[in-house]
Amino acid sequence: MLGILRSPDAQREAKGVKRQAQSSGIPQSSGGNFRAASSAAATGATKAPYALEKWLATRIADKMGKPPVRLVLWDGSVPYDPGRAIGTIRFRTRAAFWKSLASPELGMGDAFTTGELSIDGDLIDVLYHCAIGIACVGQERFKRSFFGRLPVPGINSVAGSAKHIAHHYDLGNDFYRLWLDKQMVYTCAYYPSADASLERAQFAKMDHVARKLQLKPGMSVFEAGCGWGALALHMARRYGVNVCAFNISKEQLAYARERAAQTGLANRVTFIEDDYRNIRGQCDAFVSIGMLEHVGLDHYAKLGTIIKQTLAPHGHALVHSVGRARPMPVNAWLEKRIFPGSQPPSISEMMQIFEPNALVVSDIENLRLHYAQTLTEWLRRFDACIDDVQALYDDTFVRAWRLYLAGCAASFKASSLQLYQVVVTHPRHNAIPVNRAHLYQEMVSPRWDM
């Protein structure tokens, strides 16, 4: 670890958290700056590239769809220059170049993290243009390793899910508190206007979800994967419902229970440490925000069964998830370093939850541009508190998370990622809104009630 801390006291306070970061899977550089990292990474990195390497660099550009981004090698040579470039990708070591050839997503992600690859220009804009180019030539082509392998997600058994969730969500509440909104909502916001604050947009998102669920005072709600508890508390406070919220992240649950006690809602919201597969009982509404990405396709039928068995005949269920326009292999770097076990589904894959369980889709909405704006704001806030993040972790961690936030913002903007909200009911549930006006105004819209 680089260990860039501001004082001996900060070092002692962060020791426990930093130990956790060392086991997070993020590759580490071997010194406190790029020079130490690069010299350790590749012997002879400053030697001029061979003609073969320059030619192979053009093949990388081909795999990326020849974006308007210049490629520069470790000696300063430029094997690919599109003219009017909006940015530059610099391979600072020969080792990083060859690792990127072997597995483009993983190799380039790891090289950026260790400082052996740098990006000049606006990070989101450069990655956005790269994402467009990659989509044009076919994402699978860029995802394949040198041996033709495509990345696969980790297995989300009960034990596997617990391990994967801890890897990302148990990094420490102090870390997430630095750059999330005041309610600690770590999912796509809903911007009622382009200039809305993140706090206002997250509040609007929670209202948007609650209105889709048609909540009324006294109803019971099950929430699968509740994060830091913001939605559960919002539904209880603003809509007068009773919520049982399930989560397997110990850090998030501790924070959520503390917030419930502080706000006087502990008698209306129960936070339960358990896997979604163990949810039992009956509810008037079932909601899952940002959990499906961590479920895995092999477990969709089980989630659907849980929804079918617990949702009352008159109830609504909503599943909110990052997704794809079509089935697609996972991102190798995100899978290995940031979100192990994650797999964003296409709409057709999401239907594997509902169709086998005779659940009827009543509404689908794609909020991908809202997530692009959310992630852009998260990155802005993250950049504003980089010194504090470095005090908890180090430079490699900072670079990894900047790449993650910027890369996801770019992917939503480029339509490589989607954000789906799907509402379902039981068959023959006809007391449903005749239009979507109820989502955008306080007045309740007319209903089909046949």
Catalogue the active-site residues: 408
Decide if 214 contacts 285 (C-beta within 8 A): yes
Q: Which residue has the tokens 């060392």?
A: 22
Decide if 427 contacts 360 (C-beta within 8 A): yes
The token pair at 384 is 């504003």
The token pair at 74 is 């470790």
Is residue 19 exposed (0-12), middle (13-18) or buried (19+ Cβ within 10 Å)? exposed
CB-side neighbour CA atoms (13 Å) of 17? 25
Decide if 294 contacts 248 (C-beta within 8 A): no
Alpha-carbon gap, residue 220 to 357, rounded angstroms? 22
Alpha-helical (H) ranges within 138-229 are: 139-143, 158-169, 173-177, 198-212
Is residue 411 exposed (0-12), middle (13-18) or buried (19+ Cβ within 10 Å)? buried
Q: Of all helices (H) and strands (E), which one includes residue 101?
A: helix 94-102
For the chain, the distance separating the N- and C-terminal CA atoms, rounded to the nearest angstrom, is: 64
Q: Of all helices (H) and strands (E), which one includes residue 393?
A: none
